[in-house]
Chains A and B, each alone.
Chain A
Amino acid sequence: MIGNRMNTTEELGEAGVIRIRWIPKYTAMERLFHWGHTVTFLALAATGMILFFPFLRPLAQGEGGQLVRLMHRAAAIPYGALPLIYVILEPRRAVLSLRSVFKVSRDDFEWIKGAMPYYLFGRHEAMAPQDRFNTGEKLNAVVIILGSVAFAITGLVMWFGKGIVPIGLYQAMVVMHDVSMVVTVSIFIVHFYLAVVHPMMWAGLVSMRFGVTSAAYAQEHHASWYYGPERAKEIYEARKAALAAEEEYPTD
């Protein structure tokens, strides 16, 4: 690893213990929203799939099936309410998060190019600098946000629109609800892997639990957020140059 240790703010303290400087990343509300949405999403996915997949049919039948549908509806209420509560209670944070989630730059395309070698083989000599969320997290967020809007619209029509809306519209809503399910659950599997299972990824989980991230991690993985975009770009270019030099005249 090149030119990295010099920048870290981890220091050896008096007792020879590494001190980590923690910087805030998520508010308590944001974490509550994230985990509340996760739990209700899983509950909705589980109960919904019972109606969707023919091999789960025994669970969908009769009284049990009625309970499954009731649980789906009960979980849908907090699932829909949580994002609204977040936006109402912390509108500025919400705007900030939405802005960074939906902002696309060249760094995102470079990040995607570097993602495979990074996540598969742990190579991250030159990852394009990232904002508070990296491109992968942003992709996940965009899919979940759009999916949730689709779930809410189609789900409400399926809930209250029976016999009121034309049946062609109702049918389209069911199909769209299920398309959203297939897409969001697929992305959830990947998100779960990268955030929880992947051997290198623990910092994200820590910050989503405790709301903080270490300065060293932020410098390395969220440079645009930590240093600001310009300084981050300088560091990135310098590191790329150093890497190229290393390749030409290997030191070991």
Chain B
Amino acid sequence: MSRVAMLIDESRCMGCRGCQVACKQWNDLPGEETTQRGSYENPPDLSPTTWTRVRFIEVVQGDSLQWLFLTHGCFHCGQPACVHVCPTGALKRDLTEGIITVEPDLCNGCGYCSQFCPFGIPRLDTDVLSGEGKAYKCNFCQDRVANGLLPACVKTCPSGAFDFGDREAMLAKGRARVEKLNQQGFPNANLYGEHELGGLGRLYVLKERPSLYGLPENPEYPVLANLWQDVLQPLGTLAFGAAALGVLGFYFLARRSVNMEDVE
């Protein structure tokens, strides 16, 4: 199988949150107690037990209110910083399908992934004091996909906003849809995720600019992740090796030339 992608046409989403429920059902995640916050959007954020969630963005135009919906969750980047910084190997990118998963048995809860993700996706249930817990995020229902099924959210969507499959095919569909939206009077319509961060696995067809949906216009790979993993780690090995070897060499030199009778 080649790299897969999820194409979400936000112009077709009607905010039913079926995807949210299907995700919880398939992944056996409990519901969360919510409060009335003056918005249909709930729960208020992604969490260790909410891996996908519909954002309700209220746009006021004159005296009318327009809703923009965005089904939020892991983007399955082509170039994932979370995988790069994970010290345990719990975060993995499947090399054929490009799906990024967290292996709970390997995760030690350090949370670096949550701090280096350009989208801030992984959520932790770690205890602040002891640091005990794990990281959680959407895994594109890899267990379903591996068995030829669609991810739960895609399967359940009643409005046809979701599509899933070969990434090239999804890109072609997305581009065509954007063109159509442009013709239908949405000049700002765009396809989000084609090239960002090595190409995203979660592609959006958006009616408006990404920033209006709370998405970064130009998500950037954290350079400090590279400085840390690709420079500091080899440098550390080198420094300790050099210090230890140098010291060993000095030891034999000193042993040979120091007159121990001089030593007091």
List which B117-158 residues lie within 8 A (CB) of chain A. Answer: 120, 124, 128-132
Q: How many A residues, CB 8 Å from partner?
A: 51
CA distance A247 to B76 in the complex (A): 75
Instruction: Evaluate contact between B108 and A62: CB separation under 8 angstroms.
Output: yes
Instruction: Evaluate contact between A174 and B228: CB separation under 8 angstroms.
Output: yes
Instruction: Evaluate contact between B112 and A216: CB separation under 8 angstroms.
Output: no
Interface status of B244 (Cβ within 8 A of chain A): yes
Instruction: Evaluate contact between B239 and A121: CB separation under 8 angstroms.
Output: no
Instruction: Evaluate contact between A62 and B107: CB separation under 8 angstroms.
Output: yes
Tell which of B88, B107, B224, B255 touches A199, judged by Cβ atoms closer than 8 Å: B255
Question: Residues of A contacting B88 with CB < 8 Å?
Answer: 57, 60-62, 65
Nearest Cβ in chain A — how far from B161, in angstroms? 30
Interface status of B247 (Cβ within 8 A of chain A): yes
Instruction: Evaluate contact between B109 and A66: CB separation under 8 angstroms.
Output: yes
Question: Residues of A contacting B124 with CB < 8 Å?
Answer: 162
Nearest Cβ in chain B — how far from A3, in angstroms? 14
**Segment with Cβ contacts to A, from B30-38, B62-70, B203-211, B229-237:** B229-237
**Segment with Cβ contacts to A, from B19-27, B169-177, B256-264:** B256-264
Question: Residues of A contacting B114 with CB < 8 Å?
Answer: 162-163
Tell which of B89, B105, B243, B254 touches A122, judged by Cβ atoms closer than 8 Å: B254
Instruction: Evaluate contact between A121 and B257: CB separation under 8 angstroms.
Output: yes
Known: A62-B106, A121-B257. A52 touches B243 (CB 8 A): no
Nearest Cβ in chain A — how far from B85, in angstroms? 8
Instruction: Evaluate contact between B89 and A61: CB separation under 8 angstroms.
Output: yes
Instruction: Evaluate contact between A178 and B251: CB separation under 8 angstroms.
Output: no
Instruction: Evaluate contact between B87 and A190: CB separation under 8 angstroms.
Output: no
Instruction: Evaluate contact between A61 and B90: CB separation under 8 angstroms.
Output: yes
Instruction: Evaluate contact between A181 and B228: CB separation under 8 angstroms.
Output: no
Interface status of A171 (Cβ within 8 A of chain B): yes
Q: Mark B214-245, 1 if CB is under 8 A from A, else 0.
A: 00000000101101100011011101100110
Question: Residues of A contacting B244 with CB < 8 Å?
Answer: 189
Q: Mark A136-174, 1 if CB is under 8 A from B, else 0.
A: 000000000000000000000001101100011011101
Nearest Cβ in chain A — how far from B127, in angstroms? 10
Question: Residues of B contacting A190 with CB < 8 Å?
Answer: 243, 247
CA distance A203 to B264 in the complex (A): 8
Question: Residues of A contacting B95 with CB < 8 Å?
Answer: none
Instruction: Evaluate contact between B250 and A193: CB separation under 8 angstroms.
Output: yes
- Secondary structure at the A interface, as helix, strand, loop or mixed, is helix
Interface status of B116 (Cβ within 8 A of chain A): yes
Instruction: Evaluate contact between B254 and A119: CB separation under 8 angstroms.
Output: yes
CA distance A10 to B227 in the complex (A): 56
Instruction: Evaluate contact between A162 and B115: CB separation under 8 angstroms.
Output: yes
Tell which of A52, A122, A167, A203 touches B116, judged by Cβ atoms closer than 8 Å: A167
List which A49-63 residues lie within 8 A (CB) of chain B. Answer: 50-54, 57, 60-63
Tell which of A68, A120, A200 touches B253, judged by Cβ atoms closer than 8 Å: A120
Instruction: Evaluate contact between A189 and B108: CB separation under 8 angstroms.
Output: no
Instruction: Evaluate contact between A186 and B239: CB separation under 8 angstroms.
Output: yes
Question: Residues of B contacting A51 with CB < 8 Å?
Answer: 87, 110
Question: Residues of A contacting B131 with CB < 8 Å?
Answer: 66, 69-70, 73, 159
List which A65-89 residues lie within 8 A (CB) of chain B. Answer: 65-66, 68-70, 73
Interface status of B73 (Cβ within 8 A of chain A): no
Nearest Cβ in chain B — how far from A76, in angstroms? 11
Instruction: Evaluate contact between B247 and A193: CB separation under 8 angstroms.
Output: yes
What is the chain B residue whose CB lies nearest that of A220?
B264
Interface status of B111 (Cβ within 8 A of chain A): yes
Question: Residues of B contacting A103 with CB < 8 Å?
Answer: none
Instruction: Evaluate contact between B262 and A70: CB separation under 8 angstroms.
Output: no
Nearest Cβ in chain B — how far from A74, in angstroms? 9
Tell which of B105, B233, B236, B264 touches A62, judged by Cβ atoms closer than 8 Å: B105
CA distance A51 to B109 in the complex (A): 12
Tell which of B132, B233, B254 touches A54, judged by Cβ atoms closer than 8 Å: B233
Q: List 13 A-B residue pairs with CB atoms under 8 Å apart, sorted by A's residue number.
A: A1-B262, A53-B236, A60-B87, A60-B108, A61-B106, A70-B131, A167-B116, A174-B228, A178-B228, A178-B236, A182-B239, A200-B263, A217-B264
Q: Given known contacts A120-B254, A162-B128, what 4 new A-B pairs fall within 8 Å (CB)?
A: A66-B108, A174-B112, A190-B247, A217-B264
